[in-house]
């Protein structure tokens, strides 16, 4: 029985307004998937980009080198291809080009079969005043919950 791997990008929900989410497969080598199974990966500074042929890649995703990898080991910050359907890729590329949106990874997880999946989101960057408004809402909600609990 394998443990649940759930690597999240917590900063993304604060920095970006999420419009639409997708679940995509990710193409990994042997030592990469072994490191992911040991929870030695980070997606906090990563983003997704299209290349010239219309394929989607995740950039700046850090997967630590596998401890027992020897010379078969991978580069920690290489580009990794995302696996989506052709229709989804075309839709995402159109949105990114026309509306100026970005694609940000939200969560890296393993399925029951042991495959690595990446939850990506089509996002728009938040302005500073939107972030402040979010913080105010959280504070007021927290205060109201405290009062409810007290009485």
* Torsion sign over Cα 70, 72, 78, 84: negative
For the cut 90, the answer to whether the pLDDT of residue 25 exceeds it is: yes
Mean pLDDT across the stretch 114-119?
A: 91
CATH 2.40.280.10 describes domain 6-126: yes
How confident is the model over 74-108, as pLDDT tens digits? Answer: 888 888 999 999 999 999 999 898 887 899 999 99
Q: Look at residue 9 and tell me whether its pLDDT is greater than 70.
A: yes
DSSP letter for each residue of 117-147: EEEEEEEEEPPHHHHHHHHHHHHHHHHHHHH
pTM of the model: 0.79
> Residue 49: which of 63, 62, 59, 64 has the closest Cα?
59
DSSP for 42-95 reads E-TT-EEEE-TTS-EEEES-EEPPPTT-GGGPPPTT--EEEE--HHHHHHHHHH
Confidence tier at 1 by pLDDT (50, 70, 90): very low
Listed residue (103, 96, 139, 106) closest to 11, CA to CA: 106
What secondary structure letter does DSSP report for 3?
Answer: P
Mean pLDDT of 120-147: 88
User: Is the model's pLDDT at 63 over the cut of 50?
Assistant: yes
Q: Which residue has the higher pLDDT, 110 or 126?
A: 110
**Mean model confidence pLDDT for the chain:** 88
* Confidence band, pLDDT 50/70/90 cuts, at residue 2: low
Burial degree of 102 (CB within 10 A; 0-12, 13-18, 19+): middle
């Amino acid at each position: 029985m394998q443990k649940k791997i759930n690597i999240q990008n917590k900063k993304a929900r604060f920095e970006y307004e999420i419009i639409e989410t997708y679940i995509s497969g990710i193409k990994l080598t042997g030592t990469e998937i072994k490191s992911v199974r040991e929870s030695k990966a980070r997606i906090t500074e990563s983003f997704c980009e299209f290349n010239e042929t219309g394929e989607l890649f995740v950039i700046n995703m850090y997967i630590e080198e596998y401890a027992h990898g020897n010379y078969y080991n991978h580069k920690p910050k290489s580009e990794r291809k995302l696996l989506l359907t052709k229709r989804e890729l075309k839709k995402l590329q159109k949105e990114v080009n026309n509306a100026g949106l970005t694609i940000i990874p939200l969560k890296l997880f393993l399925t029951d079969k042991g495959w690595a999946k990446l939850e990506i989101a089509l996002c728009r960057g938040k302005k500073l005043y939107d972030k402040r408004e979010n913080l105010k809402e959280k504070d007021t909600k927290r205060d109201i919950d405290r009062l409810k609990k007290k009485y």
